[in-house]
Amino acid sequence: MSQILVYVPDNSRHAGEILTLARSLGEVAAVAFNEEGAAAAAEYGATTLYRVNEPQVDSYFAAPKAEAITSIAQGQDWGGILLPGSDEGKAIVGRLAVALNRGFLTDISTLDSDGVARQDIFAGSRIVTSKVTDGFTIATVKAGAVNAEPAPSTPSEEAVDVSLSDDAKKVSIVETVDEPAGDRPGLTEADVIISGGRGVGSADDFALIEKVADSFGAAVGASRAATDSGFYPHKFQVGQTGTTVSPQLYVAAGISGAIQHRAGMQTSRVIVAVNKDSDAPIFSMADFGVVGNLFDVLPQLLEEVEKRK
Amino acid sequence: MDIVVLVKQVPDSGLERNLNADKRVDRDGSNNVMGELDEYAVEAALQLKEKHDGSVTVLTIGPDQATETIRKVLAMGVDKAVHVSDEAIAGSDALGTSSILAAALKRQDWDLVIAGAESTDSGMGVMPHMLSAHTGAAALTGARSLEVDGQTVTVEHQRANGYSKLEAQLPAIVSVWDTINTPRYPSLKGIMAAKRKPIESLSLEDLGVEAGTVGEAGATNEVLSVEARPERSAGTIVTDEGEGGRALAEFLVNEKFI
C-alpha cells in the first residue's frame, strides 16, 4: 500500500476531509507544524506524523512551509501528496511543483487509486476528470468535497528539523488581524448560509439577513452586487471572486443568480431563493423558491421559526 | 520603478464556456476578454507608476487574438507590451506556463510583477508562487491593498476571517483581488495612443525555452473527459400572496432545517 503525504494545517473540518480522502488511497503520513495539525492527524487515522520543529515558520508567508514539505517529499517515494484547497495550500503546491518539477491538480473533489481526479471548472458548470501523467499526484483538495470520517489512531511521530533558506524568509508576516464575524460560523464551515444580494437594498437592511442567519445558527453571505454596493463587507462575498461554499442549505435573498454568484454556491445541497423578479436565473436552480418581496417573506419565515423553537 | 503586469485573455465568464475536442479551453469565437481580475492588476500598476514614476509593461502568453487584450491594457495607460506567442505553447499546463513566464521575466529588468489573484478560466491562483520559486523574488499574494515605500513592498493579504499584513523587499511578485481598487476605463486619447505603443512578439526560441518542455508535449496533466454539470432542476416555486414565508418555513421543516 502506498504512502500518502498530507499537509494538515489545523484541526478544522477541512483537515479531516483531506485526511479521510488520503486514507482511502493508502497509509497516511501527515505533516504538522503545530499541535492542532497533530491532533487532526491522530483523529483522522494518520499512521505517521512528521512534526516540523521550526519556530520561525509562522513568521514568514507560505515559503517556509513549502520548503519544509518539499524536503520531506524528497525524502522518500510517495504515492501522492495532498494539500488543503486554501490560499496557503495553493501557495505551497505551486512552490512544491516547481521544486520537484512535477505536475499537480488543484481543487480536486475526488481522487481514486489510479490517480484519476474530478475537478469542477468554469465556475462549476463543467466537471473534468484528469490525472497527472506520471502517475504521481500532487493535489489540493476542495473544501467540503469529502465527508470527514474520524478514525482515531496513534501515529508514530518523527521530529523534522529544518533550517530555512534565505529565500524562504523573504516575506514577513508583520501582523495578522482577525475580523471576526461575531458569533456566526465562517462561510466555509457553516451548514447553513443566508445570503443577501442587491435586492436587500442597503447596508442597514442587511440586519434582516443577519437576524434570519442567527435564527438558523447560520453564516451570512453576500453577492458581489451587494458587496460592490457597500451593503456588506467583501470578505462575506460568495462567488467566483469571493468564497466558494457548499453548505447543506443556501438561502439566496434578493440575489438574481448571476454566473459570478452561481459559481460560488451551486454545489450547495439545498438551495432556496427569495426574489421579487420571477425571471431571476436563481429560480432555475432553486429547490424551493418564493417569488416575492424579501422584506415580507423573511420576517414571516422568522416568525414561523420562532414559533417552532 | 519598473513594473510588469501579467494579463491573460480568457473566455468571457458571463457566457457559456467549454473545452474543445482536444480537451483544451475553447478559445474560438469572439467571446474572449481580459481576465476579470487582471484589470485590477493593471490599475494597481498604473497607480504605482503615477506615484513612483518608472514604466509599466504588460506581459501575456496567447495566440494572435490576444493582441485585442493587449490593446485594451495599453489604452488604459500601460507603456509597452510583450506578447509570447508560439504554436508549441498550446496545451501547456501550469508548470509549462510558469517556465515560459519566468523566461520572459528574465529578459528584462523589473522591480515588481503584478497579477490578478487567479485567472477566471483555470482559477488555480498558483502562478505568483510558481514564479517566485523560479525567480527567487518574494511573492505576496491575494492583496487587497498594496504599497511601495523605497525598496519595501507591503500588502494586506485577504483571508477568510480578516487579513495579514505582509512585507518584503523588492523585487517582488504581487497578486491582487478586486477589493484593491476601481479599474479605470480607457480614454479616447488612451485608445489613440495605444495604437503607437510597442508590442514585442516573442517565440519560445526567443525565450530559449525548448518546445518539448512546454505545450502539450511537456504537459504533466491529462484531461480524460469533460461533462456538463447535471442541471439542477428547478423545484417548487411559489408566488408570495401573503403566505410565502410560511410556505418556505414548511419546506424547511420538511427538509429538517427547522
Where b means 16+ CB within 10 Å and e means fewer, A82-93 reads: bbbbbbbbbbbb
Nearest Cα to Cα of residue B98 among B119, B143, B128:
B128
- Segment holding A100, helix H or strand E: helix A87-100
Helices (H) and strands (E) in chain B, counts: 8, 13
In A57-76, the residues whose Cβ lies within 8 Å of chain B are 61-63, 66
- Is the pLDDT reported for residue B206 higher than 70? yes
Whether the CB-CB separation of A263 and A241 falls below 8 Å is answered with no
The answer to whether A99 contacts chain B (CB < 8 Å) is yes
- Is the pLDDT reported for residue B160 higher than 80? no
Distance CA A254, CA A293 (A): 8
Measured between CB atoms, which of B120, B142, B229 is closest to A125? B229
Whether the CB-CB separation of B99 and B127 falls below 8 Å is answered with no
Across the interface, whether the CB atoms of A266 and B229 are under 8 A apart is answered yes
* Chain A partners within 8 Å of B126 (Cβ): 90-91, 93-94, 97, 106
Q: Which chain B residue shows the shortest CA-CA distance from A184? A: B161
* Single-letter amino acid code for the residue at A280: A
Q: B171: cis peptide before it, omega within 30°?
A: yes
Across the interface, whether the CB atoms of A296 and B245 are under 8 A apart is answered yes
Most A CBs within 10 Å, among B112, B237, B250, B256, to test the A interface: B237
- Is the pLDDT reported for residue B29 higher than 70? no
* Single-letter amino acid code for the residue at A159: A
Whether the CB-CB separation of B200 and B80 falls below 8 Å is answered with yes
Across the interface, whether the CB atoms of A104 and B141 are under 8 A apart is answered no
Measured between CB atoms, which of B137, B168, B238 is closest to A172? B168
In the three-class reduction of DSSP (H, G, I as helix; E, B as strand; rest coil), residue A113 is classed as: coil
The answer to whether A2 contacts chain B (CB < 8 Å) is no
Distance CA A159, CA B205 (A): 46
Distance (Å) from the alpha carbon of B193 to chain A's nearest alpha carbon: 31
* Each residue's pLDDT tens digit, B32-82: 888 889 999 999 999 999 999 999 999 999 999 899 999 999 999 999 999
Whether the CB-CB separation of B174 and B74 falls below 8 Å is answered with no
pLDDT band at residue B165, thresholds of 50, 70 and 90? very high
- Is the pLDDT reported for residue B229 higher than 90? no
Strands B236-239 and B138-149: unpaired
Distance (Å) from the alpha carbon of A152 to chain B's nearest alpha carbon: 29
Q: How is residue B105 written as a grid cell? A: 521575466
* Chain A partners within 8 Å of B23 (Cβ): 128
In A175-234, the residues whose Cβ lies within 8 Å of chain B are 175-181, 186-188, 192, 216, 234
* Chain B partners within 8 Å of A186 (Cβ): 160-161
Across the interface, whether the CB atoms of A99 and B133 are under 8 A apart is answered yes
* Single-letter amino acid code for the residue at A210: E
Across the interface, whether the CB atoms of A174 and B165 are under 8 A apart is answered yes
Whether the CB-CB separation of B91 and B20 falls below 8 Å is answered with no
* Chain A partners within 8 Å of B117 (Cβ): 241
Q: Which residue did the predictor score with more confidence, B150 or B233?
A: B150
* Chain B partners within 8 Å of A286 (Cβ): 234-235, 237
Q: How is residue A134 written as a grid cell? A: 506520471
Whether the CB-CB separation of B211 and B86 falls below 8 Å is answered with yes
Q: Which chain A residue shows the shortest CA-CA distance from B153? A: A171
Q: Which residue did the predictor score with more confidence, B230 or A100?
A: A100
Q: Which residues of chain A have pLDDT under 70?
A: 1, 180-182
Distance CA A280, CA A268 (A): 18
The C-alpha R_g of chain A, in whole angstroms, comes to 21
- At residue A38, what are phi and psi to the nearest 5 degrees? -65, -40
Nearest Cα to Cα of residue A105 among A68, A62, A69, A134:
A134
* Chain A partners within 8 Å of B243 (Cβ): 300
Predicted pLDDT at A134: 85
Alpha helices in chain B (DSSP H): 38-52, 67-76, 94-106, 127-135, 188-194, 204-207, 215-218, 244-254
Across the interface, whether the CB atoms of A95 and B130 are under 8 A apart is answered yes
Across the range B5-25, mean pLDDT stands at: 81
In the three-class reduction of DSSP (H, G, I as helix; E, B as strand; rest coil), residue A302 is classed as: helix
* Cβ burial, residue A180 (10 Å; 0-12/13-18/19+): exposed
Instruction: For residue A307, give every residue at least 6 positions away whose Cβ sits within 8 Å of its Cβ, in sequence order, or none.
Output: none
- Is the pLDDT reported for residue B30 higher than 80? no
Direct distance between the N- and C-terminal alpha carbons of chain A, in angstroms, rounded to an integer: 51
- At residue A298, what are phi and psi to the nearest 5 degrees? -65, -40
Instruction: State the DSSP code for B25.
Output: B
Across the interface, whether the CB atoms of A304 and B177 are under 8 A apart is answered no
The answer to whether B162 contacts chain A (CB < 8 Å) is yes
Helix axis angle, A13-23 to A35-43, nearest 10°: 50
* Cβ burial, residue B227 (10 Å; 0-12/13-18/19+): exposed
Distance CA A308, CA B20 (A): 52
Q: What is the pTM of this model?
A: 0.87
Instruction: State the DSSP code for B122.
Output: T
In B53-92, the residues whose Cβ lies within 8 Å of chain A are none
Across the interface, whether the CB atoms of B168 and A278 are under 8 A apart is answered no
Strands lying side by side in the sheet with B199-202: A172-178, B162-169, B152-159, B138-149, B172-176, B112-116, B2-6, B55-61, B80-84, B199-202
